[in-house]
């Protein structure tokens, strides 16, 4: 389970290659073992055939001897019997186990044949030769009829050293491992190439989905294999449905805001007339209506932001929006004579909804105009996928003790300035939706410096 959780195994290509590697190792391992066993059996059969042929050749050379009964010539048909430690050996025993003859290759070494076989019986066995490598031997019982009609039993044995055969077996085994190891590596390389080719449409689909997430494209395009066409089609339908849902959601909220604010405005107007008449109860009703409108405004603005995921949205160029906001606020606060400056990267973009950015930027910049005396500076930059917006003013500023307080809904640092006190609270909540943060510090003029960082809207919100 821990292996499957390893990051390198999250790739389908890695899992397929791992699975194929395991299958090839098992398959080729079994093949190597089978071929090795087959070669070993073939070698054993060849050794036994050699021993049998040599033994029959020795029997053909056997001759009667007046003293020993039966003997073999010193010069045999195979010269290896006459070379010391040649790897081919032979010996002859009588029926009592007494050695009558042995090949010169044994150099006088005494070999115990053990229990002698019956006439005509062949016995193959691994043998230990004193001072020589292990060997394979054949012992055969022979019944010999002499010229005078007498019959006697003898035992004839041949042996061959297993060293050259074992070396050949090891060489064959090493070659097998090398061949199949090379075949495995070659097959894995070929399969890796095929997987790269086969999974290329999946990689392209992943790239396009990532582009849709960050807003570089509106839908998936291109020719996909039959297995992926349905997925691409469904993803496009999902993207389009999400886009329409966002538009419908915002339109619904706008309609709701309009339907609520109009009656509230009428109520405030009617109650205002009564309150001016001096009725304390009507004045309390006016205050209650104000609180109700404040609550409705906050919740609607909050709900508009919470419906956005950024799926299928194009990057928002922030410089034009900031310029429009400054132009509008210059007109609203014309009497204050604010000198506003804008420093924005030409390529600065926001990966999200235009309305959300306008909402947060408008709130922060309007606060700067509202509390600033003469100077407001706005700067927008991109750091990777993060948009950084800094707004500074020369107003009274916000002390560290007031930072958390002004972030709360309905709270303002300066009660003398009119407002609902919900701007920074909405900004902070929208920033959280975009995996960002809002910081308050002191500007170079001693006023407030608001730093807002926004990333891409999380699809998990």
What are the per-10-residue average pLDDT scores of the chain (461 residues)?
Answer: 55 84 90 93 93 91 83 82 89 89 85 86 88 90 87 92 92 92 90 87 85 75 84 84 74 71 72 59 70 67 55 76 91 89 87 82 90 92 86 88 65 42 69 84 90 71 39
- Write down which residue in 144, 167, 190 finishes a domain: 167
Residue numbers of the domain that contains 251: 199-312
So what's the pLDDT on residue 1?
Answer: 40
So what's the pLDDT on residue 459?
Answer: 44
Q: How far apart are CA 416 and CA 401, in angstroms?
A: 19
Side-chain-side CA neighbours of residue 155 (13 Å):
22
Same domain for 220 and 127: no
Query: In degrees rounded to 5, what are phi and psi of residue 378?
Result: -120, 130
Across 337-373, b (16+ Cβ under 10 Å) vs e yields ebebeeebeeebbbbbbeebbbbbbbbbbbbbbbbbe
**Assigned domain for 263 exists:** yes
Chain CA centroid to CA 123, Å: 62
**Assigned domain for 78 exists:** yes
Looking at the chain, how many residues does it have? 461
Same domain for 329 and 433: yes
Same domain for 271 and 324: no
- Write down which residue in 252, 277, 312 finishes a domain: 312
Query: In degrees rounded to 5, what are phi and psi of residue 89?
Result: -135, 160
**Assigned domain for 392 exists:** yes
**Assigned domain for 5 exists:** no
Same domain for 334 and 294: no
- Write down which residue in 312, 335, 359 finishes a domain: 312
**Assigned domain for 173 exists:** no
**Assigned domain for 356 exists:** yes
Same domain for 213 and 103: no
Same domain for 335 and 422: yes
Q: How far apart are CA 71 and CA 146, in angstroms?
A: 12
> Could you say which DSSP state residue 307 is in?
T
**Assigned domain for 265 exists:** yes
Same domain for 365 and 307: no
Split into its structural domains, the chain has a count of: 3
CATH number for the domain harbouring residue 275: 1.10.287
CATH number for the domain harbouring residue 83: 3.30.450
**Assigned domain for 139 exists:** yes
CATH number for the domain harbouring residue 329: 3.30.565.10
Residue 290: both structure tokens together: 């104000």
Closest listed residue to residue 106, CA positions, set 81, 123, 124: 81
């Amino acid at each position: 389970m821990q292996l499957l959780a390893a990051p390198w195994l999250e790739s389908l290509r890695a899992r397929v290659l791992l699975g194929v590697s395991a299958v090839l190792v098992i398959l080729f391992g079994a093949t190597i073992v089978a071929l090795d066993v087959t070669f070993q059996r073939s070698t054993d059969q060849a050794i036994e055939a050699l021993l049998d042929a040599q033994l029959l050749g020795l029997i053909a050379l056997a001759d009667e001897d007046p003293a020993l009964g039966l003997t073999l010539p010193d010069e045999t048909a195979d010269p290896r019997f006459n070379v010391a430690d040649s790897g081919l050996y032979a010996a002859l025993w009588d029926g009592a186990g007494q050695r009558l003859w042995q090949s010169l290759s044994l150099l006088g070494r005494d070999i115990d044949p053990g229990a002698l076989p019956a006439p005509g019986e062949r016995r193959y066995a691994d043998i230990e030769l004193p001072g020589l490598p292990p060997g394979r031997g054949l012992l055969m019982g022979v019944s010999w009829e002499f010229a005078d009609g007498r019959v006697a039993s003898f035992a004839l044995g041949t042996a061959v050293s297993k060293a050259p055969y074992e070396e050949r077996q090891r060489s064959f085994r090493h070659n097998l491992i090398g061949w199949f190891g090379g075949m495995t590596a070659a097959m894995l390389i070929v399969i890796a190439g095929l997987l790269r080719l086969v999974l290329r449409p999946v990689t392209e689909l992943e790239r396009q989905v990532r582009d849709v997430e960050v807003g570089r494209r509106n839908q998936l395009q291109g020719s996909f294999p039959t297995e992926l066409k349905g997925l691409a089609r469904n993803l496009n339908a999902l993207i389009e449905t999400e886009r329409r849902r966002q538009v419908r959601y915002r339109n619904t909220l706008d309609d709701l805001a309009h339907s609520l604010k109009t009656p509230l405005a009428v109520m405030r107007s009617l109650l205002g007339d009564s309150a001016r008449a001096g009725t304390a109860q009507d004045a309390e009703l006016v205050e209650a209506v104000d609180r109700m409108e404040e609550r409705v405004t906050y919740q609607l603005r909050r709900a508009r932001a919470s419906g956005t995921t950024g799926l299928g949205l194009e990057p928002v160029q922030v410089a034009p929006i900031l310029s429009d906001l400054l132009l509008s606020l210059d007109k609203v606060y014309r009497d204050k004579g604010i000198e506003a400056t804008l420093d924005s990267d030409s390529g600065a973009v926001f990966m999200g909804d235009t309305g959300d950015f306008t909402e947060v930027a408008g709130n922060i910049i309007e606060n700067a105009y509202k509390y600033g005396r003469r100077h407001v500076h706005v700067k927008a930059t991109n750091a990777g996928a993060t948009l950084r917006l800094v707004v500074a003013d020369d107003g009274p500023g916000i002390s560290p003790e007031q930072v958390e307080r002004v972030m709360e809904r309905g709270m303002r640092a300066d009660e003398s300035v009119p407002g609902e006190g919900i701007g920074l609270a909405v900004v902070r909540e929208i920033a959280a939706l975009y995996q960002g943060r809002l910081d308050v510090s002191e500007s170079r003029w001693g006023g407030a410096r608001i730093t807002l960082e926004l990333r891409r809207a999380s699809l998990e919100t």
